[in-house]
Structure 1
């Protein structure tokens, strides 16, 4: 066991050095990074380290223009001092309800420098969810964009509020604006806080109130879990399409900053503006959730070809299932650049499919990188080793969380954390996710996972989206119901859908009911809200 751990550590260091994360031979800079990470957390430390390595390099580009790493570091110093003067201290919980822009980035860094705990709120939440989460997580300060003001009426009056982005001139005068606080405050470095604050990610909340998954400590070595199979490199440029409040966005934001990469972001995702940004800034990596990739690919070859995207080496996709059809269409449009990550808010990284993996087996989520372990178990807790046999997915990772903020935890088995998914390995050891264990449909004694039927349906050119659920049935216990979004101009009907599935899959996988929708209900990160389908 000790030898395995040492081998893993050596391999992790090798991966990080190759990417440029370890500033060899500047051992002093490496030590500074380690200390900063432990004292002020990954947000503040990444920008601070980048500012030391190249203060004039552009760290962030948003709709207001560029900021260098030094400007980001100094402005977050000023914001931290201003907040300290207003009573924010180590242990204070600061909730952030912001789109992706400099105000959120500076808030993240300033919170770390104060030892405050940062709660990243989902911009797609409703009024009740926001109030419930803020109360449960004991938030005493809230940073938000002006556009969300009307959603905050249920937030307790004693929660201090700050505006991170102002859209119009009629902002409420009594709410301080971050720009004004920064401009009026000393930007000297803050002393390290007595204790580190950490941050809290929220689960998607597709089945109820989102749970808080805290990240109190992040080891620098854990960065290798991404870099082992995703070739991000020092000093390049990342276009961040996925929102920072989501695990996909925040992980790649931190990693890009740690590598002194410029990060390009917009407050709202726009597929064609994304292509334009890639061309303008010569981005080498694009970070998305699958629905964003879908919107880009759906622009079609004529629009995509207007922009020079030849600089792209990586399209990093995570957050929900990437269908074989969409991954193949994206590969056709952009080349062998798809990197499909499988993980969750709780386990962080589990596996990554490289472009080579995808070419070999479209739909795969790949293999576990260094520092991660994936094991399948049957319903009795026995380990599954045979290819093609579906089991429950459990993951071991240095980035796994240690329990929700309300004291609950995910199931543990042999020290590994349940993802709540079912999956299988193929003959080459590549992992495939068959579906959520709570989404499995038992119809007439046969087990059906919706994803197989959904992937088949979206392969049709006249289908844009599809979701399949189980509904009660007196004879079979459950029967399948499909919700289909037709392509523009399509006259696809229910009989054709059923006949198509019947000709490609087993009879018991054919949806008895078919309903056509204008769009599927999704949350802000693109996950289908199955509880809204009936």
Structure 2
């Protein structure tokens, strides 16, 4: 079956191909200047306001000595100022660098030392990062991006566009990976990379200037930033504040007439069960639910389609691939009601993307249905890691991005992600994928979440070990969980040791830090 068809590149409102990030806001401000670009808890900003502020920021950056190719960093939460700085840096010819606001001071300093920005903007709620910024060897200019401070900082410069940005092949963004296995790496993306990625989002989600998108995903993540950029491109309103709970979420989605909502399946489960969701006409404006982080259980999908009456999609991608490279369409979801295994897939490749599943040792493609490393080709793929040739060489095989993910590509072209290659363990000559073991364990009614890691074994080389978080009130023990696993999977895959904890160790992006998990081996006789 062929890949999912998408345009080869994004188009501006006048029909010309998008190549430069700043052209997104330039073109949109010309077409719909007074339309809302973004709504936050504090108010709203129009596309004209976003364009004017970004031009003033660009002029001020140039006056402060920022030159094409210099980095300009932003540390802050989702806001109009975040996008204005990103577009302003682009108009000045600089490379925008978004930094995770949840990082510890030492981590922030490390990233800034690596990126060496000429200027760093701090969001209104993130001024506490100032000491970490000032500790960087880059010695950047530090600017408060609180609305009143940014207005004052740009008051004496013109609102005209300096248009100092170059071509689409030049670096436009640097986003840092989460660093679960060491220091984060700066992923360098060009204007052309993003233009290819945005085309898929725009077309497959039917986004246009009547859309209202709600996605509380931070802009320092590629999925959050990608949606923000495509919203500007098409003239959609982007709602960025985070509802306080399920009731507030339902009220916000309905009152704001949201057409495109990003949620995770656990939140969706609570949403469809609420009495407010059952009211006639409650979801007449909702057109798409975009989800990720976990497969959609078939019973939940049936219920959600019945209650919400909208379309469902999910995707797979990485920062290194400029975001999503596959899509499980709504039609696939409907097919999944009769073929439930499809709902564990992340869909088929977008039309501009090439996918391979490769034997990580031999470098040759495996047969359909067999496991191997997922490789991605096409114009979505990054140009490399910032100032890290060794990591770039390790991640790239010619024009192919080696994702480090283990997956299966079936005969119909559907991709199933199994685990991370680095997490795979070999027990008695058999490959064991921790994610597979984790999926079995979390099906136990007393398990909230878990992480499975490799433990050295003098007999088998490695064996699986599990760190488990019990559900509140549960007293399930290790023997019960091992017995549960043995009923559902091959014994060599089952955990040989189970320990319990109140919470799993995570990094600032919320990913489980498996390298921080320490489980004591069972003493041998």
TM-score by length of 1: 0.84
3-state SS, counterpart of residue 108 of structure 1: helix
Match of 1:346 among 303, 320, 328: 320
| 1:73-132 deviations in Å (ceiling 9; x for gaps) | 112222222333323232221111111112211111111111111111112222222112
* 8 Å contact from structure 2 (residues 12, 24) kept in 1: no
Match of 1:527 among 502, 511, 516: 511
2:59, 2:299 → 1: CA distance? 50
**Which runs of structure 2 are paired with 1:387-426 in the superposition (5 Å)?**
388-406=369-387, 407-408=389-390, 409=392, 410-413=394-397, 415-426=399-410
Mapped pair 1:91 → 2:69: yes
* 8 Å contact from structure 2 (residues 196, 380) kept in 1: no
* 8 Å contact from structure 2 (residues 189, 382) kept in 1: yes
Q: 487-496 or 328-337, which moves further after superposition? A: 328-337
3-state SS, counterpart of residue 362 of structure 1: helix
- Tell me the equivalent position of 1:243: 218
Mapped pair 1:81 → 2:52: no
TM-score by length of 2: 0.85
- CA offset at residue 286 of structure 1? 2.2
Q: 273-282 or 94-103, which moves further after superposition? A: 273-282
Match of 1:302 among 246, 250, 274: 274
Alpha-carbon distance change, 482 to 322 in structure 1, aligned in 2, over 3 angstroms: same
**Which runs of structure 2 are paired with 1:9-88 in the superposition (5 Å)?**
12-13=6-7, 23=13, 29-31=14-16, 34=17, 37-38=18-19, 41-42=20-21, 44-88=22-66
1:197, 1:508 → 2: CA distance? 47
Alpha-carbon distance change, 146 to 485 in structure 1, aligned in 2, over 3 angstroms: same
1:14, 1:420 → 2: CA distance? 26
* 8 Å contact from structure 2 (residues 116, 138) kept in 1: no
Match of 2:355 among 371, 374, 396: 374
**Which runs of structure 2 are paired with 1:202-281 in the superposition (5 Å)?**
202-218=176-192, 220-227=195-202, 229-266=204-241, 273-281=248-256
Q: 436-445 or 180-189, which moves further after superposition? A: 180-189
Aligned pair count reads: 495
CA RMSD, Structure 1 to Structure 2 (Å): 3.0
- CA offset at residue 178 of structure 1? 1.4
1:112, 1:280 → 2: CA distance? 35
- CA offset at residue 295 of structure 1? 4.9
* 8 Å contact from structure 1 (residues 331, 337) kept in 2: no
Match of 1:180 among 144, 152, 167: 152
- CA offset at residue 499 of structure 1? 1.4
- CA offset at residue 444 of structure 1? 1.9
- CA offset at residue 310 of structure 1? 4.8
Match of 1:481 among 461, 465, 469: 465
Alpha-carbon distance change, 270 to 214 in structure 1, aligned in 2, over 3 angstroms: farther
* 8 Å contact from structure 2 (residues 209, 234) kept in 1: yes
Mapped pair 1:515 → 2:493: no
**Which runs of structure 2 are paired with 1:144-155 in the superposition (5 Å)?**
144=122, 145-152=126-133, 154-155=135-136
* 8 Å contact from structure 1 (residues 117, 200) kept in 2: yes
Alpha-carbon distance change, 277 to 331 in structure 1, aligned in 2, over 3 angstroms: farther
2:299, 2:513 → 1: CA distance? 25
- CA offset at residue 476 of structure 1? 1.6
- Tell me the equivalent position of 2:440: 456
3-state SS, counterpart of residue 30 of structure 2: helix
- Tell me the equivalent position of 1:173: none
- Tell me the equivalent position of 2:290: 316
1:120, 1:87 → 2: CA distance? 20
Question: What are the ranges of 5 or more consecutive residues in structure 1 without an aligned counterpart?
Answer: 1-6, 24-28, 167-175
- CA offset at residue 437 of structure 1? 0.9
- Tell me the equivalent position of 1:171: none
1:213, 1:159 → 2: CA distance? 21
Question: What are the ranges of 5 or more consecutive residues in structure 2 without an aligned counterpart?
Answer: 519-525
2:268, 2:109 → 1: CA distance? 34
Match of 2:173 among 183, 196, 199: 199
- Tell me the equivalent position of 1:141: 119
| 1:412-442 deviations in Å (ceiling 9; x for gaps) | 4463221111111235331101111111011
Mapped pair 1:471 → 2:452: no
- Tell me the equivalent position of 2:303: 332
Alpha-carbon distance change, 235 to 428 in structure 1, aligned in 2, over 3 angstroms: same
3-state SS, counterpart of residue 438 of structure 1: helix
| 1:326-345 deviations in Å (ceiling 9; x for gaps) | x8646634566432211111
- CA offset at residue 143 of structure 1? 0.8
1:215, 1:15 → 2: CA distance? 15
* 8 Å contact from structure 2 (residues 28, 233) kept in 1: yes
1:482, 1:335 → 2: CA distance? 39
- Tell me the equivalent position of 1:444: 428
3-state SS, counterpart of residue 305 of structure 1: helix
- Tell me the equivalent position of 1:170: none
